[in-house]
Chains A and B, each alone.
Chain A
Amino acid sequence: MRERDRARDHPEVDSLEQFARFRRIVLADPALEQRLQGIADWPSFLDAAIGAAAEHGIALSETDVLAARKQATRSWLERWV
């Protein structure tokens, strides 16, 4: 399946993959990790994450971050399943 079609048919999967790329970069960069750890509210975090991702050539969107948040919450709630 071509990349564009996959993104159109499975937008959430694409968002999660995009965030996963960003996550790998953050966890390999102690300074960036520390910067993001210190942000307590979501609006500021969204701005910081999207900006940091852009600095690393990743076009991260608010939708991507919120999809990652939804997936992380669901994964924790489903720990008994």
Chain B
Amino acid sequence: MSAPADALEGWAPIRVHEGNVPVVEWCWLDGIGFDDPFFVQTVERAFRTPFSLLFRRETPIDALAGLPPGLEPTGFIFHGSRCGSTLVSRMLAAASRMLVLSEPLPVDQVLRASASERERTRWLQAIVAALGRPRRGERSYVVKFDAWNACSLGLVRRAFPDVPWVFLYRDPLQVLVSQFRQRGAHMVPGALDPVLFGLDRAAVIRMPPEEYCARVLASIYRSALEHRDDRAFFVDYRELPGAVFERILGAFGLDCDEAERARMHELAGLNAKNPNLLFSPDGQAKEREATPALREAADRWVRPLYEELLAC
């Protein structure tokens, strides 16, 4: 159901439906913060309330321009997946008055919409502003993008040229072993349009999975390197969690007090995606688990780019 802008207090955009004019779907979230490791988990938590599940509002995407302006983004996080980005976003979220959105679905949807780059740029600005409306007195606002959104960095930088961004990367073999244990959407052939990664649709069908995944990761690393600018900060997984304090807080212009830093340290010892578990480094286990085919694919397609990232 369509809604006037002033009826959206306490509601949040949760997804975008494509059409001649994209429609934004809003969910009643009042009282619930984006405290979960991922955006969709918070939405699903809201769905436990019957009203939130059953009643949604809808607005044409152009109506977002009529909303009170949200916070200006403080920083963006891009990553190669399995590189510690959830840890970083969780640590930043420990700071008070900080709104951190982790892989918000509407952002990915406008980035991958079937529309001109000009339209997608405008929609991205609108949806980031709508998501950034402070709900609990937040003053800073960080968006962690989906891994494959790094392939849209050109568009994001044009939409938000002044926002500092961090790119998190990791030894490609460790990323690929993790993906082979449990794949993200971008590592499942056909789940996302392979053209996004510069791959031919027909060729992907016959491609060995090791090669497909390695080339997707290579495309993400390459895009990050190509869009490197004076607002970019590249962080290797091995630099975490220290790099949060030493580089990322400064890159985003954030000033945290001792209590906030203590909370961040505490979070660094927990498993970011499941805060009920303690974090345990598993890099060596991943190395042992790697098959020869995966090693070869990592070395051939991604390692040269990883070396370039290390030199940044």
Contacts and interface: CB of A to CB of B under 8 A. Distances in A.
- Do A and B interact? yes
Interface residues of A, number: 23
Interface range for B: 20 to 34
Given A24-B1, A79-B105, A19 B54 contact: yes
Given A23-B1, A27-B1, A79-B15, A72 B191 contact: no
| Main DSSP-derived SS at the B contact region | mixed
A54 to B, nearest CB: 17
Interface string B39-54: 0000110011111111
B55 A26 contact: yes
Interface in A18-51: 19, 23-24, 26-27, 30, 33, 36-37, 39-42, 45, 49
A65 B1 contact: no
Contacts of A80: 185, 191
A36 B51 contact: yes
A37 B1 contact: no
A72 B54 contact: yes
Contacts of A45: 50-51
B28 interface: yes
Interface in B18-43: 28, 30, 43
A69 interface: yes
Interface of A: 19, 23-24, 26-27, 30, 33, 36-37, 39-42, 45, 49, 65, 68-69, 72-73, 76, 79-80
